Structures are given as structure tokens and as C-alpha cells.
A and B are shown apart, each in its own frame.
Chain A
Amino acid sequence: MESTEPLLVIDDLAVEFRTDEGVVKAVDGASFSVGRGEIVGVVGESGSGKSVTAMSILGLVKSGRRAGGTIRFRGRDLATLPAKELRAIRGAEIAMIFQDPMTALNPVVTVGRQIVEALKLHDKKLSKAAARDRAIELLALVGMPDAAARFKQYPHEFSGGMRQRAMIAMAIANGPSLLIADEPTTALDVTIQAQVLDLLKVAQQETQAATLLITHDLGVVAELADRVVVMYAGRVVEQGDVTTVFTEPRHPYTVGLLESLPRLDRDVDELHPIPGSPPSLLAPPPGCPFHPRCPLARDRCRTERPQPRVVGAGHQSACHFAAELAAVHTEVTR
């Protein structure tokens, strides 16, 4: 019997990188979960640990080391799974879409063969012809015109958007129950971004896969995600459903992110960038990692690290003064 636990549960995950200057805590006690069929957006600036979190789910963090916590998928801890069992999950139950489609495909192997490889790795009995037909079908599904001809072409004969379509076709090839998309639109032209986002939506509906969407773009999250996880300096600072977090943010960092965005639906005179820059993860500031940039920072923030607390239905914030923030935020946006 399946447990009642969500599909993916990341619990107190910590990932460290040893560098010449010291230990970098790229992810420092992050916890969140993804339910079946749910789309969860993980947002944060560069260096917030969002990509490392995504990569560590499938054990793809090269030089880093998991320093603590668990990553449970269907009740099994992926981080302690034997290599062979993890490989059986990679590309089958959990598939990934990477940021840069220009480099994520092997340049000397045809696109078709790369999709066929994904199929055959998880179905040894699949015949060559059947795999080929299925791959062409997948290419057609992701909106590739003339899929049969495209099957035989090399990645350099594809545009960036087409390559990302091919990546998506490869990712959904085995009908995964979890799709991890790491900045899937960041490397693309703005016009192509919208198409790829639409395609991701289609792919999600087609496969009913839960999707973990890693992005720095709040617009993408608003468009696609059911829930949002905001990360800062390797920690989850706020999470909740998209509407709640976007309309009633309970963490000053989320407030800052939202205020730095241009809005079409509201008359905004000025954009307010967050002052300062993200902290060094070699020597993170004591207490709340956001306090050096926080307009509300007080003495307590400089000494005591805030833990995530429930601030509403399914809504968590790691701010000592989350309760006060409601009033302040309304004031700022007025």
C-alpha cells in the first residue's frame, strides 16, 4: 500500500562543498515536499541553493556532499539508495529538464538516438523499431514539426527552443511521476520562453507528473505553479500556495522579491530592488541570513536563527516577525 506521505519529501537537507577557502553550505536545512501531480516552484537568487537542491534529488551534485537530512521519494531515501537502484529511478520515475538546452544534449549523437537511449535504458525488451516509433511520437507530442526528419538530426541543427522541446520529450519518455525542471526557460529567448512554458504545462497534463520547477523568475511561478518555495542562502524562508504567498507574503525577502518586479496589473511608480547582495555561504551571517539586507531587522535577527513556522493554512515563514509583516507589507504596497 502506498503511504499517505507526499510523493517527494525533502527533510532538513544540507549539502556542502569543500573549497580551498572553506566549506560552503549551499543548502542548509531545507525542508519541503511535492505532492502527486502538484507543480511546485522553487524560487531564489543565484546561490540560494535551489539548483543544488534539485540536483541532489537525483544525486547529480558532482563535487558536493550531502551533509544531512533525507530526500524521500515514495518513502525511500534517495540519498542512501544503492547506485543501481538510483539509476533505475533516474530518467524513469524522476526525470530532469536542464537549464541550457544548447549544452545539455550530446553534440555528436542524433537527437533521436538520445531519446531512444532514454527509452531503452528503462525497457531492455523494447525493440529498436518500437523505440524509434515511440521517440518520433514523443517529438511530435512536444510540437516538433516533421518529427521523423528531426529524429535523424543532430542537436546543432536545432534552435534553442527546439532543443528544449527535445529535452522535454526525453524527460517525459518514460512517463515519470516527478519532473524536475531546472531553470527550463532561462537560456531561451523571451518569445520562446512562453512556448516552452506552455509545453511544460501540456507535458504535465499529459503525464500527470508532479513537477518541481526551479526558477528565479516569479512570473514563471505565477504562471505554472500550485505552490511556491522561496529559498535564500541555502534555506527555505517561505512556502505556501502561490496565491497566498504572492498576495500575503510573510517573509521580508519574499516582499523584497515581489517589490522588485514590474507589474502590469497595478500602477507602480518605482521598482524597489533589495539592497545589498546575497551573503557569502562560506561565512553566513549569524542569526537570520537575511538580516543584513532586511528593513525590519532587529537585535534578535542578528543572533537567533529563525525556524520555519506555520503562519496560515499550508503557509510557512522563517521570520521572527512574520506576524507583523502583514501590516507592514500592506503599507508598503499601498
Chain B
Amino acid sequence: MAAFVVRRILVNIVVFMLIGIGVFLLVRAAPGDPVRMMISPEDLQEGSEQFIQARRAELGLDDPILVQYARWLLDAISGDLGSSFLNREPVSGLLLERLGPTVLLMSTALGISLLIAVPLGTIAAVRRNTGVDYAAAALSLGVISVPSFFLGITAIYVFSLQLGWLPSSGMSTPDGGGGADVLKHLIMPAAILGLAAAGPLTRYVRGSLIDELSADYVRTAEAKGGSLARVVSRHALRNSLIPLITIVMINIPQMLAGAVVLEQVFAWPGMGQLAVRAVNTQDYPVIVGFALYVAALVLVCNLVADIAYAVVDPRVKVT
């Protein structure tokens, strides 16, 4: 097991390096110029060109791309991902400060999606081709089909503007009331993000459980005198949830993409919001830093999925 983990970590480091090169080059290959992006066109005047050139040289943007990469890599290895072009704040600091809110939003959403998908998928599978199953299918397809920003805006309209129950933006009220206040801000974005993820997961749980329910060992459990609830929960569900680990882990990056959108809608101070702003201003170091954080998240999730698989399924032996 330890050897497996070490080997996977080494492989992941190589993958991580390659992603770093890819992102670094792609960002610089995009058209546009970060220094020009900082100046609004009406401010351009005589002498501006010299200023722009001076700033480019200062930021090292005139050097050959490989030199730029080497410089960035050496700094990155020592933990320094550079500074934002925009406000010269260190990228690591910017991202770390926003990592917490994003992780809070995503983990809550993940919890919500599982709390919806597992029971609903189970009921749909056990009562398949009945009204409950069709209702679950309609709900799943509904949340898959409706974009989450639309759900977000609708929720803000209903719960913030009309009913006034929940705050519409941010993570806390300025002189706010601690945990309960954060929770109030969290409910809408997390619920919508969770709902969107629950759609496909519900379908998956249903399909996987239907397969397991027709398995021979389920018949054995029934022949032993187990009740339906017991046969489903102790036998079929346990088997059908094993592949769910992988599905959930694969879905985490997708969920992050959803989080980026919802962080915009709800002004949630997470990494997504930062990334959108960085892309808009061509803030290279922040974009690359964000991409590396996401890559690290995906790689770690995959590793966790592999390990969890080996822990949950006695048939899987990792060596």
C-alpha cells in the first residue's frame, strides 16, 4: 500500500510539472498584453508607449519564453508563484486566502449532492418504473438541463428579494454574526451547486443499484430471509457505492467549474472569482497559480479515490 501511494505520488508530480509547462505556455500564447489591459484606452496618450515598454521589461515579459519559464519554475519550487501583475500581491497568498471559502462551498455542495443522490437514486432503483422513479428522473434531468447561474439568479430573486430570508451575496455581513451568518450566506450557493451535481449522481446511483439488485448475491440474501430494506442497504447498496467513489472524485473538477460561475453570481470570495478577474486582466501569474491549484486538487482527488477504492473493496489489492 505504501509503495503504491509513493509511486502514485511520484507519477503525479511528473503530471503536475507537465501541467505547469502547458499552462505557462498557453497563457502566454493567448492574444493580448497584460500591461495594455491595465490601461483604459482613453488614458492612452503620448509617452504611454514608453511606459508600457518599461513595465513589460520590469515584469520580464520581454525575455524569451524559456527564460521566463525557467525563472518562474525556480521561484515556484521554493514556493513562490510570483506576484499579481495587477496589485503586486503574492499569488500564493491571494489563492490561499480564497482557498478556504471555495473548499467550504464545494465540500458543503458535495455533502448536499450525496445526501440527495444516494437516497433518491436508491428509491428510484428499488421502485423503478413507478411514479417515484419518473419524478426522480424528471428532477435529475431538470437540474442537469437548467444552467446553475439561472438557478442562482432565480434563487436570489425568490429568497433574497421577495422573501428576504437569505442574503444574496458575499460570505458574511461586514460586522456579521459568526458561524450562523456564514451558514446563511452559504445555503444558496452550496444548495444550487449541490443540486446541479446531484442530478447526474442520482442517475448513476439508480443505474448502478439496478445492476446490483439483479445480482445473484442479492437473491441469496433474499433467500436467507432478509427484508427488502436489509437486502438493499446491507448488500446491494454497498456494492453499488464502490464505483460511486470514482464518479464523485471525477466530478470534483466539474464541480469546481460550477463553483467558479456561482461564486460570480453570489459574489462568494472564492478562488473562482479571483480566477475570472485574473483572466479578464490577463494577470498571468494568478492564472497559472490558479490552474496549478486546480490541477493539484484533481490529482489529489484521484489519488484519494484510488486509495479509498482499495480500502472499501476487499477485492482490490494495491501493490
- Name A residues whose Cβ lies closer than 8 Å to a Cβ of B: 58, 60, 62, 87-92, 95-96, 98, 100, 103-110, 114, 117-118, 121-122, 154, 156, 167, 170
Asked if B154 lies at the interface with its beta carbon under 8 angstroms from chain A, I say no
Q: Does B131 contact A (CB under 8 A)?
A: no
Given contacts A154-B314, A154-B315, A156-B315, are A104 and B224 in contact (CB under 8 A)?
no
Do A87 and B217 touch (CB < 8 A)? no
What are the residues of chain A within 8 A of B225 when measuring CB–CB?
87-92, 118, 121-122
Cβ A90 vs Cβ B217 within 8 A: no
Check if A103 sits within 8 Å of B217, measured CB to CB.
yes
B97 at the interface (CB under 8 A from A): no
Q: Which B residue sits closest to A122, measured CB to CB?
A: B225
CB distance from A10 to the nearest CB of B (A): 18
Residues of chain A lying within 8 A (CB to CB) of residue B74: none
Nearest CB in chain B: distance from A275 CB, A = 34
Return chain B residues, CB-CB under 8 Å to A91.
223-226
A89 to B227, CA, bound (A): 12
Q: In the bound complex, what is the Cα–Cα distance between A158 and B273 (angstroms)?
A: 54
Residues of A with C-beta under 8 A to B48: none
Interface size class of B (residues with CB under 8 A): 20 to 34
B181 on interface, CB distance cutoff 8 Å = no
In whole angstroms, what is the CA distance A108 to B311 when docked? 11
Q: Is the CB of B314 within 8 A of A87?
A: no
A95 touching B223, Cβ below 8 Å: yes
Residues of A near B235 (CB, < 8 A) are 106, 109
Q: Is B215 among interface residues, defined by CB-CB distance under 8 A? A: yes
> Which 7 A-B residue pairings sit nearest by Cβ, starting from the closest?
A91-B225, A91-B224, A103-B216, A90-B225, A106-B217, A154-B314, A96-B223
Residues in B with CB closer than 8 Å to A90 are: 222-225
Instruction: List the B side residues contacting A95 at CB < 8 Å.
Output: 223-224
Question: Is B7 in contact with chain A by the CB < 8 A criterion?
Answer: no
Question: A104: which B residues are within 8 A, CB to CB?
Answer: 216-217, 219-220
How far, in whole Å, are A121 and B227 apart by their CA atoms in the complex?
9
Segment 234-270 of B: residues with Cβ below 8 Å from A: 234-235, 238-239, 242
B216 CB contacts on chain A under 8 angstroms: 98, 100, 103-104
Q: Decide if B214 is an interface residue (CB 8 Å cutoff).
A: yes
A98, B224: Cβ atoms under 8 Å?
no
Nearest opposing residue in chain A for B242, CB measure:
A108
How far, in angstroms, from A87 to B223 measured CA to CA in the complex?
A: 8
Asked if B223 and A107 sit within 8 Å, CB to CB, the answer is no
Asked if B313 is at the interface of the complex by the 8 Å CB criterion, the answer is yes
Residues of chain B with a CB closer than 8 A to A87's CB: 225-227
User: Residue B221 at the A interface, CB < 8 A?
Assistant: yes
A234 CA to B221 CA, complexed, in Å: 27
Query: Which chain A positions have C-beta within 8 A of B214?
Result: 62
B210 to chain A minimum Cβ distance, whole angstroms, is: 12
Q: Are A108 and B219 in contact (CB under 8 A)?
A: no
Q: Report chain B residues within 8 Å CB of A62.
A: 214
Q: When chains A and B are docked, how far (Å) is the Cα of A110 from the Cα of B234? A: 12
A residues near B220, Cβ cutoff 8 Å? 96, 98, 104-106, 114, 167, 170
Name 19 interchain pairs, CB-CB below 8 A, sorted by A.
A58-B223, A60-B219, A60-B222, A60-B223, A91-B223, A91-B226, A95-B223, A98-B219, A103-B215, A104-B217, A106-B238, A107-B239, A107-B315, A108-B238, A108-B313, A109-B234, A122-B225, A154-B314, A167-B220
A108 touches which of B222, B227, B314 (Cβ 8 Å): B314
Q: What's the Cα separation between A170 and B242 when bound, in Å?
A: 26
